[in-house]
């Protein structure tokens, strides 16, 4: 294993943060650990541009899809207890879905369906191979049906889990389960299943299983009133005029209200230090500082590539996930995993587990170099997001000697 040279990490502040803050981002921070010990932290810019509040170590961010690995760990904790199995049919927990059909042709008002080749499994939900989709993909009549029915599981929702499940029972799948990878509401459905199995809210189960044991005291679905001053505003890329503009003001955000549905796919708020505690636990194979969240073998399974025959996302995915950017990248039970660094044309390690969020946040856990990285910012539709994440890996890994 190599060692990070802290002096070389300073390039993060000089190049990446200065470059992107100047041109694209309101503010950002990055935390790096090796062997579960902090080796670098950098911050730059504002958490709230309008109020000129600088980003800092205690800033609370919308982590959106970085919620997904937390939901996956909770599913795997139920797996360890024998309460759920990867090959369980989803209809065992959602009997309303016994007669799901697959879209064949037509438009949203007049379409043909067929029976799926097989039933949807819990494994399909964990690997986004369920046939479900997202309302914002704008690719097929199926996601148009999601928009028409209001299936937009997000903060501020007025529909409860059972209501979403009932609506989805009448909308066809995009494909037979297992055929493709398609990023979707699959993890939100896993959150609903957790609630059905445990008879607890998703947040209650998160707190009991992960948040309280790891002392992740600044991670929640709703911003507490007493912590609102630490909550960042969120911005959106202004493609027309350049730069960015305010999207969600911290003081009037929908995250101030408790939703009827907790989004296991993208609803959490967190700090950079809280999320690093989660990463350190994964790096340490489920146990950290005497606290065990998952067993070693369970953690290894969760972070392993689940795509058969060693195919990568570019070969099996639909939409943007089929692009060359995802060559050499597989998918685990909750995040991406590097299966061929050379094919990916990036400086990374075999088995690197990672994911990101819609507002530009990202993390990765490198099991070879024992490095964990958490990057935080708050900007939606950031056109340079993938380039930034690639450059972050380059600059962090060039510090290894």
pLDDT digits (tens, 9 = 90+) for 311-328: 999 999 988 777 878 999
pLDDT digits (tens, 9 = 90+) for 167-221: 999 999 999 999 999 999 999 999 999 999 999 999 999 999 999 999 999 999 9
Q: Residue 359: CB partners within 8 Å, gap ≥ 6? A: 61, 62, 63, 64, 234, 377, 378, 379, 380
**Which pLDDT score, from 0 to 100, does residue 155 have?**
66
- What does the DSSP 8-state code read for residue 13? I
Helices (H), 81-201: 122-126, 141-149, 161-168, 186-198
Q: Residue 200: CB partners within 8 Å, gap ≥ 6? A: 208
Average pLDDT over residues 257-277: 96
Look at the block and give the residue holding tokens 């600088």.
Answer: 54
Tokens of 29: 């921070």
Residue 388's alpha-carbon distances to 22, 156, 327, 361, 384, in angstroms, are 13, 30, 18, 11, 6
pLDDT digits (tens, 9 = 90+) for 357-390: 999 999 999 999 999 999 999 999 988 888 899 9
The answer, yes or no, to whether residue 104 has pLDDT greater than 70, is yes
**Which pLDDT score, from 0 to 100, does residue 17 have?**
74
d(CA 277, CA 43): 19
What are the φ/ψ torsions at residue 243 (nearest 5 degrees)?
A: 75, -135
- Which of 5, 78, 12 has the alpha carbon at shortest distance from 44? 12
pLDDT digits (tens, 9 = 90+) for 141-168: 999 999 999 998 876 678 999 999 999 9
Domains and CATH numbers, the chain: 6-64+202-397 (3.40.710.10), 77-198 (3.40.710.10)
Residues in the chain: 401
CA Rg value for the chain: 20
Mean pLDDT, rounded, of the chain: 94
SS3 220: strand
Report the share of the chain in percent with pLDDT over 70: 99
Average pLDDT over residues 92-97: 98
- 82, with CB counted inside 10 A (0-12, 13-18, 19+), is exposed
**Across 52-56, 95-99, 191-195, 345-349, least confident range:** 345-349
pLDDT digits (tens, 9 = 90+) for 335-350: 999 999 999 999 999 9
Q: Exposure pattern of 9-43 as b/e (b: 16+ CB <10 Å)?
A: beebbeebbeebbeebbbbbbbbbbbebeebbbbb
Report the share of the chain in percent with pLDDT over 90: 85
């Amino acid at each position: 294993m190599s060692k990070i040279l802290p002096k070389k990490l300073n390039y993060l502040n000089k190049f990446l943060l200065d470059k992107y803050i100047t041109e694209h981002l309101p503010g950002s921070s990055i935390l790096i650990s090796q062997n579960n010990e902090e080796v670098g932290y950098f911050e730059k810019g504002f958490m709230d541009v309008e109020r000129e509040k600088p980003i800092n170590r205690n800033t609370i961010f919308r982590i959106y899809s970085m919620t997904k690995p937390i939901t996956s760990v909770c599913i795997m904790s139920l797996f360890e207890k024998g309460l759920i199995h990867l090959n369980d049919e989803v209809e065992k927990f959602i009997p309303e879905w016994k007669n799901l059909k697959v879209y064949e042709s037509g438009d949203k008002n007049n379409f043909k369906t067929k029976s799926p080749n097989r039933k949807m499994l819990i494994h399909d939900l964990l690997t986004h191979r369920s046939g479900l989709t997202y309302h914002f993909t704008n690719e097929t009549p199926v996601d148009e049906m999601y928009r028409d029915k209001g299936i937009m599981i997000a903060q501020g929702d007025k529909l409860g889990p059972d209501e979403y499940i009932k609506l989805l029972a009448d909308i066809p799948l995009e494909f037979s389960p297992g055929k493709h990878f398609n990023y979707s509401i699959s993890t939100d459905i896993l959150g609903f299943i957790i609630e059905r199995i445990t008879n607890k809210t998703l947040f209650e189960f998160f707190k009991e299983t992960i948040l309280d044991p790891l002392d992740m005291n600044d991670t929640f679905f709703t911003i507490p009133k007493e912590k609102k001053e630490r909550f960042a505003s969120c911005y959106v890329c202004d493609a027309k005029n350049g730069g960015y503009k305010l999207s969600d003001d911290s003081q009037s955000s929908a995250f101030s209200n408790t939703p009827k549905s907790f989004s296991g796919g993208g609803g959490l708020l967190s700090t950079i230090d809280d999320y690093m505690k989660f990463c350190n636990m994964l790096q340490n194979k489920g146990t950290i500082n005497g606290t065990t969240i998952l067993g070693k073998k369970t953690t290894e399974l969760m972070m392993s590539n689940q795509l058969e025959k060693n195919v990568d996302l570019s070969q099996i995915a639909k939409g943007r996930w089929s692009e060359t950017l995802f060559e050499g990248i597989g998918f685990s039970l909750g995040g991406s995993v590097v299966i061929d660094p050379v094919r990916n044309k990036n400086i990374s390690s075999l088995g690197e587990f990672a994911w990101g969020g819609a507002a530009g946040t990202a993390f990765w856990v490198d099991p070879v170099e024992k490095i964990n990285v958490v990057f935080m910012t708050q900007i939606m539709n950031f056109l340079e997001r993938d380039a930034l994440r690639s450059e972050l890996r380059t600059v962090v890994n060039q510090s290894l000697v």
